[in-house]
Amino acid sequence: MEILTGRVLHFTADPFLHGPEAARIDEAVVIEGGIIRAVGSAGALRAAYPQAAVSDYGDAVISAGFIDAHVHYPQTAIIASWGKRLIDWLNTYTFPEEIRFADGDYAADVAARHLDFVLDNGTTSVCSFTTIHPGSVDAYFSAAQTRGMRIYAGKTCMDRNAPDALRDTARSAYDDSARLLSRWHGVDRLSYVITPRFSPTSTPEQLEALGALWQANPGTLMQTHLSEQLDEIAWVADLFPDSRDYLDTYESVGLLGKGAVFGHAIHLTERERARLIEADASVVHCPTSNTFIGSGMFDMRLAQEGLRVGLATDTGGGSNFSMLRTMAAAYEIGQLRGTPLHPSQLWWLATQGSARALRAEQQIGNIAAGMEADLVIVDLASTPAIAQASCRATDIWQALFPTIMMGDDRAIREVRIAGAVRSRCRNEP
């Protein structure tokens, strides 16, 4: 048993609905056996648990670890490749790289590298696409298993509009996904996610097959992409002339409902907005990717309308592994859209908001008794520029905001997975 003392940031409600008062700062958190046992004042918890070891983090913020709700781990090596539009980017960079994942050793190397990168940036859980190769799923889950991480992933299914080496079929997509789901789902802290890449790379028959698999496994998530770019939406309209809109290409085959997680969702029609909310689906905001590839600006009013909204780096279309940088980009896009985001809302999106998007809010993404002890310790004076700004603060949000806007991996003092230290800042002993 261990008591961690510092500025313990946690949420009692959604700040998009209840304002900054939805967050509170306590002095200490008790962890034991990978679980949070209590949170409160340091004095009270020391008295209640006199045998517990104490780790004092001073003025650092102790938070739930960041949750990256939409990534492509196979794109780790091509992050920050010179930008083109989405379809060109896929053909020029993504597909050639994903072909390499037929090699299991290569997949294992990239999987390990990706998880180490995200841990160093304070991210403790990830929801990732893989490739069409079942071995790419095995590699990622195996790497996560050795690190004790809660991870969500699934075989990426494509049976058209992709290189021959990256195509499966409706039948093999179903069979491979079913086998992988049976092997990995619910093992340790791993969750299988049914994963059609997006409608342009799946025939209606493949989407229907994956819809049937999802209906047969209601405890799983389903992830895909939705309305990322205008030319993509036009392409979908050509490929699916009988569909009412982009969302309908999924809805008509049973791929819309609780547990559906749609990346991007920038250019939604009014019908799509209403149906996503009605179906209690989730969308994931990927701000650095949306600007890097020139996709558009997400409408954060969706969070105020009751939709589950998460936050993600979208590696490697996104240009950074850091959720701090992603929060900063979300703030900037909010400013441009006239929907300024308070620091409490940004932090919520990167923690409890993403957990809600993955329907894991009772397990991860917050500090509360009974939740899993995936934690990040954040230094609010990690660089001279940040320190000189935060020292002028009169409340926690003024102190935290410079780190959101200017912070990087140097701000991540320590990362704990299920209570155990897994990563420390290179400046720490």
Strands 23-32 and 2-11: antiparallel
- Output the furthest CA–CA distance in the chain (Å, rounded): 68
Q: Residue 293 has what pLDDT?
A: 87
pLDDT in tens, the chain (429 residues): 999 999 999 999 999 999 999 999 999 999 999 999 999 999 999 999 999 999 999 999 999 999 999 999 999 998 988 867 777 878 888 899 999 999 999 999 999 999 999 999 999 999 999 999 999 999 999 999 999 999 999 999 999 999 999 999 999 999 999 999 999 999 999 999 999 999 999 999 999 999 999 999 999 999 999 999 999 999 999 999 999 999 999 999 999 999 999 999 999 999 999 999 999 999 999 999 999 889 999 999 999 999 999 999 999 888 899 999 999 999 999 999 999 999 999 999 999 999 999 999 999 999 999 999 999 999 999 999 999 999 999 999 999 999 999 999 999 999 999 999 987 765 554
What pLDDT is recorded for position 92?
86
The pLDDT, as a whole number, for residue 429 is 45
Instruction: Kindly report the three-state secondary structure assignment for every residue of the chain.
Output: CEEEEEEEEEECCCHHHHCHHHEEEEEEEEEECCEEEEEECHHHHHHHCCCCEEEEEEEEEEEECEEEEEEEHHHHHHCCCCCCCHHHHHHHHHHHHHHHHHCHHHHHHHHHHHHHHHHHCCEEEEEEECCCCHHHHHHHHHHHHHHCCEEEEECEECCCCCCHHHCCCHHHHHHHHHHHHHHHCCCCCEEEEEEECCHHHCCHHHHHHHHHHHHHCCCCEEEEEECCCHHHHHHHHHHCCCCCCHHHHHHCCCCCCCCEEEEECCCCCHHHHHHHHHCCCEEEECHHHHHHCCCCCCCCHHHHCCCEEEECCCCCCCCCCCHHHHHHHHHHHHHHHCCCCCHHHHHHHHHHHHHHHCCCCCCCCCCCCCCECCEEEECCCCCHHHHHHHCCCCCHHHHHHHHHHHCCHHHEEEEEECCEEEEECCCCC
Per-residue pLDDT at 425: 66
pLDDT of 318 reads 85
pTM: 0.97
Angle at which helix 204-216 crosses helix 170-184, to 10 degrees, equals: 30
Complete domains list, the chain, with CATH? 2-64+365-424 (2.30.40.10), 66-357 (3.20.20.140)
> Given the structure tokens 């021959």, which residue do they identify?
164
Q: Are 90 and 293 in contact (CB under 8 A)?
A: no
